Protein backbone atom coordinates (compact mmCIF):
# COMPACT_ATOMS: atom_id res chain seq x y z
CA UNK A 1 0.00 0.00 0.00
CA UNK A 2 1.32 3.44 -0.89
CA UNK A 3 2.28 5.75 1.94
CA UNK A 4 -0.06 8.57 0.89
CA UNK A 5 -2.95 6.12 0.62
CA UNK A 6 -2.38 5.01 4.19
CA UNK A 7 -1.95 8.55 5.48
CA UNK A 8 -5.21 9.78 3.96
CA UNK A 9 -7.29 6.64 4.43
CA UNK A 10 -10.94 7.00 5.46
CA UNK A 11 -11.24 7.13 9.29
CA UNK A 12 -12.07 3.85 10.99
CA UNK A 13 -15.67 3.48 12.12
CA UNK A 14 -14.60 2.32 15.60
CA UNK A 15 -11.28 4.00 16.39
CA UNK A 16 -11.04 2.97 20.05
CA UNK A 17 -9.05 -0.20 20.79
CA UNK A 18 -10.31 -2.36 17.92
CA UNK A 19 -7.97 -4.21 15.57
CA UNK A 20 -4.40 -3.30 14.72
CA UNK A 21 -4.14 -2.49 11.02
CA UNK A 22 -0.80 -3.61 9.57
CA UNK A 23 0.60 -2.12 6.36
CA UNK A 24 3.64 -3.32 4.42
CA UNK A 25 5.23 -0.23 2.81
CA UNK A 26 8.38 -1.68 1.24
CA UNK A 27 11.56 0.41 1.24
CA UNK A 28 10.92 3.94 2.51
CA UNK A 29 13.20 6.92 3.10
CA UNK A 30 13.68 7.49 6.84
CA UNK A 31 12.46 11.10 6.90
CA UNK A 32 9.42 10.21 4.82
CA UNK A 33 8.53 7.40 7.22
CA UNK A 34 9.00 9.70 10.22
CA UNK A 35 6.68 12.32 8.71
CA UNK A 36 4.08 9.61 8.10
CA UNK A 37 4.35 8.42 11.69
CA UNK A 38 3.76 11.92 13.01
CA UNK A 39 0.66 12.37 10.86
CA UNK A 40 -0.73 9.04 12.02
CA UNK A 41 0.05 9.80 15.67
CA UNK A 42 -2.00 13.00 15.39
CA UNK A 43 -4.83 11.15 13.65
CA UNK A 44 -4.81 8.39 16.28
CA UNK A 45 -4.73 10.84 19.19
CA UNK A 46 -7.69 12.72 17.71
CA UNK A 47 -9.66 9.50 17.23
CA UNK A 48 -9.75 9.69 13.43
CA UNK A 49 -8.11 6.28 12.92
CA UNK A 50 -7.46 3.11 14.86
CA UNK A 51 -4.11 1.58 15.80
CA UNK A 52 -1.58 1.02 13.03
CA UNK A 53 1.54 -1.09 12.56
CA UNK A 54 3.84 0.15 9.79
CA UNK A 55 6.15 -2.52 8.37
CA UNK A 56 9.02 -1.50 6.10
CA UNK A 57 12.75 -1.27 5.52
CA UNK A 58 14.93 1.80 5.10
CA UNK A 59 17.84 2.76 2.87
CA UNK A 60 21.11 2.97 4.82
CA UNK A 61 20.87 5.48 7.67
CA UNK A 62 22.09 6.01 11.24
CA UNK A 63 19.69 7.51 13.77
CA UNK A 64 20.62 9.09 17.10
CA UNK A 65 18.10 9.27 19.96
CA UNK A 66 17.44 12.38 22.07
CA UNK A 67 20.38 11.76 24.40
CA UNK A 68 22.60 9.66 22.11
CA UNK A 69 26.33 10.30 22.25
CA UNK A 70 27.77 10.78 18.73
CA UNK A 71 31.04 9.18 19.89
CA UNK A 72 29.32 5.83 19.35
CA UNK A 73 29.53 6.49 15.60
CA UNK A 74 32.97 5.04 14.91
CA UNK A 75 33.31 6.07 11.26
CA UNK A 76 34.17 9.54 10.01
CA UNK A 77 31.94 11.57 7.71
CA UNK A 78 33.90 10.60 4.60
CA UNK A 79 33.49 6.88 5.30
CA UNK A 80 29.78 7.27 5.93
CA UNK A 81 29.35 9.35 2.78
CA UNK A 82 31.22 6.76 0.71
CA UNK A 83 28.74 4.13 1.86
CA UNK A 84 25.76 6.41 1.30
CA UNK A 85 24.86 6.50 5.00
CA UNK A 86 23.11 9.57 6.41
CA UNK A 87 23.01 10.49 10.13
CA UNK A 88 19.70 11.78 11.54
CA UNK A 89 18.86 12.82 15.11
CA UNK A 90 15.34 11.86 16.21
CA UNK A 91 13.05 12.11 19.26
CA UNK A 92 13.08 8.47 20.39
CA UNK A 93 14.93 7.06 23.36
CA UNK A 94 18.01 4.90 22.98
CA UNK A 95 21.42 5.26 21.41
CA UNK A 96 22.70 5.10 17.84
CA UNK A 97 20.88 2.63 15.60
CA UNK A 98 21.61 1.48 12.06
CA UNK A 99 18.88 0.88 9.50
CA UNK A 100 19.39 -0.55 6.04
CA UNK A 101 18.21 -2.99 3.38
CA UNK A 102 17.54 -6.46 4.72
CA UNK A 103 16.32 -5.17 8.09
CA UNK A 104 12.68 -5.20 9.19
CA UNK A 105 11.52 -1.96 10.79
CA UNK A 106 8.14 -1.90 12.54
CA UNK A 107 6.53 1.29 13.81
CA UNK A 108 3.55 0.72 16.16
CA UNK A 109 1.12 3.66 16.19
CA UNK A 110 -0.74 2.48 19.29
CA UNK A 111 -3.01 4.47 21.62
CA UNK A 112 -2.02 3.14 25.04
CA UNK A 113 -5.08 4.04 27.12
CA UNK A 114 -7.78 2.18 25.13
CA UNK A 115 -5.74 -1.01 25.49
CA UNK A 116 -4.96 -0.43 29.16
CA UNK A 117 -1.25 -0.22 28.34
CA UNK A 118 1.65 1.50 30.02
CA UNK A 119 4.98 2.00 28.28
CA UNK A 120 6.76 -0.93 29.93
CA UNK A 121 4.13 -3.54 28.95
CA UNK A 122 4.23 -2.21 25.39
CA UNK A 123 8.01 -2.60 25.34
CA UNK A 124 7.67 -6.14 26.68
CA UNK A 125 5.09 -6.96 24.01
CA UNK A 126 7.43 -5.72 21.28
CA UNK A 127 10.31 -7.75 22.73
CA UNK A 128 8.13 -10.86 22.97
CA UNK A 129 7.05 -10.41 19.36
CA UNK A 130 10.69 -10.10 18.29
CA UNK A 131 11.56 -13.31 20.12
CA UNK A 132 8.58 -15.17 18.66
CA UNK A 133 9.43 -13.95 15.16
CA UNK A 134 13.01 -15.17 15.47
CA UNK A 135 11.77 -18.55 16.71
CA UNK A 136 9.37 -18.87 13.79
CA UNK A 137 12.33 -18.42 11.45
CA UNK A 138 14.60 -20.92 13.18
CA UNK A 139 16.56 -18.63 15.52
CA UNK A 140 16.60 -18.78 19.32
CA UNK A 141 16.59 -15.32 20.90
CA UNK A 142 15.74 -13.79 24.27
CA UNK A 143 15.69 -10.63 26.34
CA UNK A 144 18.84 -9.35 28.03
CA UNK A 145 18.35 -7.72 31.42
CA UNK A 146 18.95 -3.98 31.31
CA UNK A 147 19.28 -3.90 27.53
CA UNK A 148 16.04 -3.44 25.56
CA UNK A 149 15.69 -5.39 22.36
CA UNK A 150 16.34 -8.97 21.36
CA UNK A 151 19.53 -11.02 21.71
CA UNK A 152 21.02 -14.35 20.74
CA UNK A 153 22.79 -16.06 23.66
CA UNK A 154 22.22 -12.99 25.89
CA UNK A 155 23.83 -14.62 28.92
CA UNK A 156 26.56 -16.50 27.07
CA UNK A 157 30.16 -15.68 26.30
CA UNK A 158 29.22 -14.12 22.96
CA UNK A 159 25.91 -12.20 23.22
CA UNK A 160 24.74 -10.95 19.83
CA UNK A 161 22.12 -8.29 19.21
CA UNK A 162 19.57 -9.21 16.58
CA UNK A 163 16.80 -6.70 17.34
CA UNK A 164 16.78 -3.08 18.55
CA UNK A 165 13.98 -1.13 20.22
CA UNK A 166 13.29 2.54 20.88
CA UNK A 167 9.94 4.24 21.47
CA UNK A 168 8.46 7.67 21.96
CA UNK A 169 4.99 8.46 23.31
CA UNK A 170 3.14 11.61 22.22
CA UNK A 171 -0.42 12.42 23.28
CA UNK A 172 -0.71 8.89 24.60
CA UNK A 173 0.26 7.31 21.26
CA UNK A 174 3.45 5.36 20.54
CA UNK A 175 5.73 5.72 17.55
CA UNK A 176 9.24 4.74 16.47
CA UNK A 177 9.57 1.04 17.34
CA UNK A 178 11.78 -1.94 16.50
CA UNK A 179 14.39 -3.05 13.99
CA UNK A 180 15.04 -6.75 13.35
CA UNK A 181 18.05 -7.87 11.33
CA UNK A 182 16.87 -10.34 8.70
CA UNK A 183 19.37 -10.43 5.83
CA UNK A 184 21.08 -7.09 6.46
CA UNK A 185 24.77 -6.48 5.64
CA UNK A 186 26.35 -6.86 9.10
CA UNK A 187 29.52 -5.04 7.99
CA UNK A 188 27.65 -1.74 8.35
CA UNK A 189 27.26 -2.37 12.09
CA UNK A 190 31.04 -2.15 12.43
CA UNK A 191 30.65 1.60 11.89
CA UNK A 192 28.93 2.06 15.27
CA UNK A 193 28.70 0.84 18.83
CA UNK A 194 25.24 -0.72 18.43
CA UNK A 195 22.85 0.96 20.88
CA UNK A 196 25.84 2.72 22.45
CA UNK A 197 27.47 -0.50 23.69
CA UNK A 198 31.15 -0.81 22.69
CA UNK A 199 32.17 -4.30 21.67
CA UNK A 200 28.64 -5.57 21.11
CA UNK A 201 28.34 -7.82 18.07
CA UNK A 202 25.31 -7.64 15.81
CA UNK A 203 23.78 -10.62 14.06
CA UNK A 204 20.86 -11.44 11.79
CA UNK A 205 18.40 -14.23 11.14
CA UNK A 206 20.40 -15.21 8.05
CA UNK A 207 23.71 -15.25 9.96
CA UNK A 208 22.30 -17.29 12.84
CA UNK A 209 20.98 -19.83 10.34
CA UNK A 210 24.43 -20.15 8.79
CA UNK A 211 23.41 -18.27 5.64
CA UNK A 212 26.21 -15.71 5.80
CA UNK A 213 26.43 -15.26 2.04
CA UNK A 214 22.81 -14.15 1.85
CA UNK A 215 22.33 -10.78 0.17
CA UNK A 216 19.89 -8.27 1.68
CA UNK A 217 16.50 -8.60 0.01
CA UNK A 218 13.21 -6.82 0.50
CA UNK A 219 11.42 -10.13 -0.10
CA UNK A 220 13.05 -11.74 2.94
CA UNK A 221 12.06 -8.76 5.07
CA UNK A 222 8.45 -8.87 3.88
CA UNK A 223 8.16 -12.54 4.87
CA UNK A 224 9.44 -11.82 8.36
CA UNK A 225 7.20 -8.73 8.61
CA UNK A 226 4.09 -10.88 8.32
CA UNK A 227 5.30 -13.08 11.16
CA UNK A 228 6.08 -10.09 13.37
CA UNK A 229 2.69 -8.46 12.78
CA UNK A 230 0.87 -11.62 13.80
CA UNK A 231 3.05 -12.09 16.89
CA UNK A 232 2.70 -8.47 18.02
CA UNK A 233 -1.08 -8.43 17.66
CA UNK A 234 -1.25 -11.69 19.62
CA UNK A 235 0.86 -10.18 22.43
CA UNK A 236 -1.64 -7.32 22.73
CA UNK A 237 -4.63 -9.63 22.41
CA UNK A 238 -5.82 -7.64 19.40
CA UNK A 239 -7.28 -8.71 16.05
CA UNK A 240 -4.97 -8.04 13.10
CA UNK A 241 -6.24 -6.36 9.94
CA UNK A 242 -4.42 -5.51 6.72
CA UNK A 243 -4.48 -2.05 5.17
User: What residues are labeled active site?
Assistant: 195
**Bridge partners of residue 177, in order along the sequence:** 166
The whole-angstrom separation of Cα 127 and Cα 167 is: 12
3-state secondary structure of 72: helix
Dihedral sign from CA coordinates of 69, 73, 74, 80: negative
The whole-angstrom separation of Cα 228 and Cα 221 is: 10
Residues 6+ apart with CB under 8 A from 227: 132, 133, 136, 137
DSSP element (H, E) containing 162:
strand 160-170
The whole-angstrom separation of Cα 165 and Cα 169 is: 14
Amino acid sequence: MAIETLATARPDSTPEAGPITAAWLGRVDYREALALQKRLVADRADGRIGDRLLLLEHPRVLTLGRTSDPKHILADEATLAARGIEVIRVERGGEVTYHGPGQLVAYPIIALSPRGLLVRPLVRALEAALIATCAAHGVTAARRDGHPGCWCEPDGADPRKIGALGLRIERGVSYHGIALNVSVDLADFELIDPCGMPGVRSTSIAAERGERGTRPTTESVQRVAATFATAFAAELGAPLAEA
